[in-house]
Amino acid sequence: MHIILLKFGDNKSSAPQFMEAHNAWIAKGFADGVFQCVGSMDVGGGFILAHGEEKDVILQRVMLDPFVEQNIVTAEVYQVDLKRTTPQLAHLGKDY
Q: Give the model confidence (pLDDT) of 11-63 as tens digits.
A: 999 999 999 999 999 999 999 999 999 999 998 899 999 999 999 999 999 99
4 HSE (CA, 13 A, CB side): 28
Helix ranges restricted to H, 1-96: 15-31, 55-63, 66-69
Question: Which 3 state secondary structure label does DSSP give 78?
Answer: strand
Cα–Cα dist 22/49, whole Å: 16
pTM of the model: 0.89
Fold of the domain spanning 2-93: Alpha-Beta Plaits (3.30.70)
Indicate the domain borders of the chain: 2-93
